[in-house]
Amino acid sequence: MYTDEPPDGMTELDLHPLGLGTWQNTDPEECAESVQTALELGYRHIDTAQAYGNEDAVGRGIAESSVPREEVFLATKVDTANLSYDDVHETTQQSLERLRTDYIDLLYVHWPTETYDAPETLQAFQELYDEGVIRHIGVSNFEPRHLDEAREILDAPIFANQVELHPYLQQEELRAYAEDHDHHVVAYSPLARTSVLDDEVLRDIAEKHDASIPRVTLAWILDIGVAPIPKATSGEHIRDNWGAYDVDLDDEDHERIADLDRGHREVDFAGAPWDN
């Protein structure tokens, strides 16, 4: 479980608890500026993906910030169309060029779908890890059976599983699996794509703590040992999300939020990993 305070320093093994998500942040100037703003404020975990079409802007934001590259935990994901052995190698090199870096801290398999073939895909990831091109291997949207298979194939440990997680989808099974097998859970769409903003329970808790609903929601996610990566573009939202560290939820708050779980997904489609 993460502590309430972000770490003072980082090593290559650290995953900064609260990160900046960049999904749909496709305006190059706005994206680069948001990354730079977040880093100057104190964020150190930046998340992107080949599919987002903004790796170049993310790389520019990092390069133009005052934060040294070695203090940034940079994660990206290999697109589902690029998961064949050769394509993993080729497109990861392209990601490196766009991100203006010679290594990636955490490289994810974005989804175990389309061109994903566990032995072939993961062999390529293992080789990139062995070569030092990537510091950690991650997976995204994996269910326990996919994680079991990946652990059998890989020599390197799985570092993180990135999944949709918020008060309405609390992912207890995957959190328990992560604890049992010693890897992180990273939460995308931690604000349920703004759905939490209309929640009366969360509004009541927020008023109790004189905080915003996003701060309360992110504080809860941090408290349960998960690393949220909320998407934010404006400086106001980036700063407000960072204020989650100032929210001290009590047991009653946690009980009320736990009762909100209803297994609701914002991201779902025919053939999704949880349906097969």
The catalytic residues are 52
> 228 in helix, strand or coil?
strand
Q: Measured between alpha carbons, how far is 234 from 38 in angstroms, rounded to an integer? A: 10
Is residue 106 within 8 A of residue 133, CB to CB? The reply is no
**Tokens at residue 180, please?**
């049992």
Residue 153: closest CA among 180, 130, 124? 124
Residue of 133, 209, 145 whose CA lies nearest to 174 = 145
Quote the CA–CA distance of 116 and 100 in Å, as a whole number.
Answer: 26
Type of residue numbered 172: E
Bridge partners (DSSP) listed for residue 19? 45
Measured distance CA(59)–CA(132) in Å, rounded: 19
